[in-house]
Amino acid sequence: MAVKIGIDPGHGGKDLGTVGKQFGLQEKEVNLSVALELDRLLRNHAVETLLTRNTDVYVGLAERVKLLNEAKVDLVISLHVNSASNSEANYLSTHILARGGQAEKLAQQVQANLVKVTGWPDGGVRVNNFYILRETAAPAILVEMGFMSNPLQEQLLREDGIRKKLATGIAIGTLNYLGKDFQPPPEEEVPYSDVKGHWAEKDILYLTKLGILQGYPDGTFRPEQTVTRAELAVVIKRVIDYLQQS
């Protein structure tokens, strides 16, 4: 039986969500990054998905719910990063509207695998009357992926590696709930020898695929090299050309 899963990256556009104090990391950006990776992983297992947003745009809660309900998704996974007055708070938690239903079964699988994959403290499955949980017709969970108010977790959440781990934990839990085995996707080929593991690796590869950025003939990208005014002009022109073509 085919299953459609709604993936809801919290916040977006003018709604920044929580902003970290140490690096100014915005929750909306983390949520979207994890959501796009989760979408990729689930689709790799032939699971149909629907994102409430796939770019940095503002989508109101009512509009998100309407989209999910009209699409008649079977499950909803909403992604957020927590915040607390206590900067030491650092646990993962998964929220549901009530105990005893399919949402709790999904939440238990997702929570267990998130903790396993990341090694972060287990905050458990919790009951909360969140709008997205209450108003969606399908069973829904809301995942709090650590704390932006925790300096160490804010630092880690800047990295592509931890975002992929979060997406992987959620994907494994979701697939386990669906009775499917998780198969890691093949590693994406990195065209440059010096960007693997760099904090901007994902953006560099994305812009390279669009033809906006290019590396050097020796197979390097030199991510820390200063950009000249001429190089900046070329990049801006490529962006304009891309937007006009789109």
Structural domains in the chain? 4-177 (3.40.630.40), 201-245 (no CATH)
pTM: 0.78
How far are the Cα atoms of 32, 43, 130, 157, 238 from residue 203, in angstroms, in the given order?
13, 21, 32, 15, 16
Comparing CA positions, the residue from 2, 1, 5 lying closest to residue 110 is 5
What is the tens place of the pLDDT at every residue in 27-84?
Answer: 999 999 999 999 999 999 999 999 999 999 999 999 999 999 999 999 999 999 999 9
User: Token match 């030491």: residue?
Assistant: 88
How far are the Cα atoms of 77, 155, 162 from residue 142, in angstroms, in the given order?
6, 22, 19
Q: Are 132 and 61 in contact (CB under 8 A)?
A: yes
pLDDT of residue 246: 56
Fill in the amino acid letter for 29: E
- Just list the catalytic residues: 144
Instruction: Find the length of the chain.
Output: 246
Average pLDDT over residues 136-147: 98
What is the tens place of the pLDDT at every residue in 111-137?
Answer: 999 999 999 999 999 999 999 999 999
Pairing of the two strands 140-147 and 122-127: unpaired
153 vs 232, more confident: 153
How would residue 18 be classed by pLDDT, with cut points 50, 70 and 90?
very high
Q: Are 107 and 141 in contact (CB under 8 A)?
A: yes
- Dist. CA 141–CA 94, nearest whole Å: 7
Mean pLDDT of the chain, nearest integer: 92
What SS3 class is residue 88? coil
